[in-house]
Amino acid sequence: MYINFWYPICASEDCNDEKPFRTRVLGLRFVAFRDAEGQARVMRDVCIHRGGSLGKGWVRDGQVVCPYHGWRFGGDGKCTHIPTLPDDSPPARAKVDSYPTEERYGIVFAFLGDLPEEERPPLLEIPEWDQPGWRANKLTVFEVGAFYERSMENGLDPSHNEFVHPAQGSPNINANLRRRPLDVQDIPWGSKFLVTFENEVKGTEALGEEATLVPEVEAGSGHVGPNTMITWINFSETNRFSQYFFEAPIDENRTRVFFVNMRAFMLEPENDERIAKVNMIVAQEDIQILEELDPVRTPKSTAKEVLVPSDGAVMRYRKWLREWDEKGWRIDSRRLRADAGDIAYSIPCPDRRSSGNWVLDPVPLQPAGD
């Protein structure tokens, strides 16, 4: 798990100015709410007075109030009100990490890290969003009992389709191409590939569909950063899916996936439901495999696996992860686990670069090159 990337925190509709939204990402709790301007704010969910959970409190005048002793915090993380201080002037130390946010595609994202704006990796864009000829399904959020890197690697793996999703219309990878190395290309902060699949596409059992002949199916996937992924399924120029997966590691064992499905056919809203149904059947098939992987986390050494050319995109993904290891962005999960209950760590926010005297310790990071 890495600091310094954008993570999906909650659906826009769950972020409001009355009741804070509480969640867990990267093994730590966060709170989301709307300030007086309606802007989504995301903060570490630990009150620096004596450890209360801000997310269990309430929002008053666009500020979050701790339920324990009523300390109030603005969206910038600074304490604005301490009921028991005679002059009600909170000390400068009374501040909580507050993170940059972006709200897109019905999702509140937070940049969980301390990089200044110009150095931040980008948030994965959906170019089809709001474009004529495309329609988005309602946002689907689901949890997987697996480590997020395993989930990402599953999305970057074209050779599982015919085994894991045989009944859901998933095309088989073309027999002539199956044994060739994947042609993986780098993109900014990630990589992608496209492959050609068999002409025959099996029908979707859940929809009672027959097999169809499709001249040429091109499909592939890619990732941007460690936790966002795209899958393209192009049956033809006009018959296409682009699927976006914004993944938030809850901790080292669980992942929350924010899934946006874009389609360029069956555009009528009444098709949303059946498409969502098939998508979830496919997701469940993946989840059943992912939740049984052993070890839960990807082994550190490739000597503990037997990788073949069709794992090329997985290997390229891991190479990217090594680059972010080199930057010193990987969270030291073992220490985080060992200190759980004794130390409330925090992901350092950008403000830590310009001001000192923070109460919570920054989350332990794996030294670069470790």
User: Which residues form the interface with Fe ion (CB under 5 A)?
Assistant: 286
- Min separation Cβ 51 and ligand FES, Å: 6
For Fe ion, the closer of residues 310 and 333 by Cβ is 310
- Min separation Cβ 231 and Fe ion, Å: 9
Contacts for 245 with CB less than 8 Å, ≥ 6 apart: 155, 228, 229, 230, 231, 257, 258, 259
Please pick, from the candidates 58, 68, 142, 189, the single residue that binds ligand FES as defined by CB under 6 A.
Answer: 68
For ligand FES, the closer of residues 85 and 207 by Cβ is 85
49 binds ligand FES (CB under 6 A): yes
Read off the DSSP letter of residue 310: G
73 binds ligand FES (CB under 6 A): no
- Min separation Cβ 283 and ligand FES, Å: 39
Stretch that binds ligand FES, among 23-31, 44-52, 126-134, 219-227 (CB under 6 A): 44-52
Distance from chain centroid for Cα 95: 27
Stretch that binds ligand FES, among 67-75, 204-212, 289-297, 349-357 (CB under 6 A): 67-75
Residue with tokens 């025959």: 200
120 binds ligand FES (CB under 6 A): no
For ligand FES, the closer of residues 64 and 108 by Cβ is 64
- Min separation Cβ 53 and ligand FES, Å: 8
Residue whose beta carbon is closest to Fe ion: 286
For ligand FES, the closer of residues 9 and 47 by Cβ is 47
d(CA 125, CA 138): 17
- CA distances in angstroms from 37 to 17, 57, 189, 314, listed in the order given: 10, 20, 33, 42
Judge residue 41's burial from the number of C-beta atoms within 10 Å of its C-beta, 0-12 exposed, 13-18 middle, 19 or more buried: buried
47 binds ligand FES (CB under 6 A): yes
Contacts for 340 with CB less than 8 Å, ≥ 6 apart: none
Read off the DSSP letter of residue 19: S
d(CA 55, CA 111): 19
Residue 303, both tokens: 């000597």
| Strand bridging mode 185-187 / 140-144 | unpaired
Stretch that binds ligand FES, among 17-25, 65-73, 136-144, 290-298 (CB under 6 A): 65-73
For ligand FES, the closer of residues 50 and 138 by Cβ is 50
For Fe ion, the closer of residues 45 and 286 by Cβ is 286
Please pick, from the candidates 8, 52, 155, 226, the single residue that binds ligand FES as defined by CB under 6 A.
Answer: 52
Stretch that binds ligand FES, among 46-54, 132-140, 161-169, 266-274 (CB under 6 A): 46-54
50 binds ligand FES (CB under 6 A): yes
- The 10 Å CB-count burial string (b at 16+, else e) for 266-287 is eeeeeebeebeebbebbbebbb
Q: Tell me which of ligand FES, Fe ion, none is bound by residue 49, counting a contact when its beta carbon lies within the kind-specific cut-off of 5 to 8 angstroms.
A: ligand FES
Q: Give the H or E element holding residue 200.
A: strand 200-201
**Site size for ligand FES, by CB under 6 A?**
9
Q: Tell me which of ligand FES, Fe ion, none is bound by residue 66, counting a contact when its beta carbon lies within the kind-specific cut-off of 5 to 8 angstroms.
A: ligand FES
Please work out, in degrees rounded to the nearest 5, the angle formed at the alpha carbon of residue 324 by the alpha carbons of 311 and 258: 70
Contacts for 310 with CB less than 8 Å, ≥ 6 apart: 157, 158, 159, 173, 178, 179, 181, 182
Helices and strands counted in the chain (H then E): 5, 21
- The 10 Å CB-count burial string (b at 16+, else e) for 229-240 is bbbbbbbeeeeb
Residue 292, both tokens: 């049984």
64 binds ligand FES (CB under 6 A): no
For ligand FES, the closer of residues 71 and 245 by Cβ is 71
Q: Which residues form the interface with ligand FES (CB under 6 A)?
A: 47, 49-52, 66, 68-69, 71
